[in-house]
A and B are shown apart, each in its own frame.
Chain A
Amino acid sequence: MNEPWMMLVVSCAVVLIGLMGVIFRQSLLVVLMSVELMLNAVNLSFVTFSKMHNSLDGQIAVLFVMTVAAAESAVGLGLVIALFRTLKTADSDQIQMLRD
């Protein structure tokens, strides 16, 4: 597998699909899932560049991104639960307390 640009094409495509999910979906759960998609795609490009450079720093960065992603999804899901408890909804368009 000596063609790293194909991996980078997959990574770009998944990043943009995740971005579309963040922009177009209402459900906060799916928005968080799309954020996870984007983080995974960035991890894939990290590993690809690490292989291209004959270096292991990219894979170490992937380790740190994974821990940050785990912490982020835990805090994000806690926020979703707290929002659902006060507003009885998990849609991003229903959260407009600052507008009223």
Chain B
Amino acid sequence: MIDWSFLAFIVFATIAIIGSLMVILQKTPVSSAFSLVLVFFSFAGLYAILGAHFIAALQILVYTGAIMVLFVFVIMLLGQDEKTSDLKESSFLFKGVTTLGALGLLSVLLLATLDAHEITAKGEYTEEKIKLMGGNLQAISEVLFKDYVFHFELVSFLILGSIVATVALAKRKNTYSGEYHE
């Protein structure tokens, strides 16, 4: 009997890591954006393997649906399709020090997470209870609208503020009737 979830994990994890390497190594922003779509889809697969089906659906809707369209629109508006964005010109010493620092950080993170399975504090939402409650979405919405309803409302204010900020930033300055002159 093949462990299908393990097989799917290997496939999605490989796509995620190779795709995120491609995001930062591609020369043009458009190819970076499409590698990012690949990474987002494989992360949705990883969430589905972990049993977070609502998060997986939301990942595809919000990230690949909304955020990526925003990125591609901005690339189109700026006309940044040519190979202008190269790597930063930095000294060899700086690159070496940064790479060593990143590898050290990776080893610290791995050391911190490799014995993370010894967790004693277990919550109440086991897989059986979630199945009994009627699935992942039902359980999440009960927790969200019972315990986190105030945070939910606060997040709506954050989104409202960001809409206003984005419109104020992207508006052309010469449409103001005020005193502002560039």
Q: What residues make up the interface of A, taking CB atoms closer than 8 Å to B?
A: 1, 4-10, 12-21, 23-27, 29-30, 32-34, 36-37, 40, 43-44, 47-57, 59-60, 62-64, 66-75, 77-82, 84-86, 90-91, 93
Contacts and interface: CB of A to CB of B under 8 A. Distances in A.
B55 A64 contact: no
A29 B74 contact: yes
B74 A81 contact: yes
Given A75-B166, A77-B74, A63 B80 contact: no
Nearest to B79: A84
Contacts of A50: 52
Of B5, B23, B86, most A-chain CB atoms within 10 Å = B23
Given A33-B32, A59-B55, A54 B123 contact: yes
A44 B170 contact: no
A30 B88 contact: no
18 contacts: A5-B113, A7-B9, A12-B110, A14-B17, A14-B20, A14-B39, A27-B29, A33-B71, A48-B50, A53-B123, A67-B159, A74-B162, A75-B162, A75-B165, A78-B165, A82-B170, A90-B85, A93-B89
Given A70-B62, A73-B67, A9 B110 contact: yes
Contact of A37 (B5, B39, B162, B172): B39
Interface string B97-108: 010001001100
Contacts, number: 222
Contacts of B166: 74-75, 77-78
Contacts of A23: 88, 98
Contact of B17 (A17, A60, A75, A80): A17
Given A8-B113, A53-B122, 16 more contacts: A7-B9, A13-B20, A14-B20, A18-B24, A29-B80, A36-B63, A48-B50, A56-B140, A59-B55, A62-B55, A68-B158, A71-B161, A72-B162, A75-B166, A77-B74, A82-B169
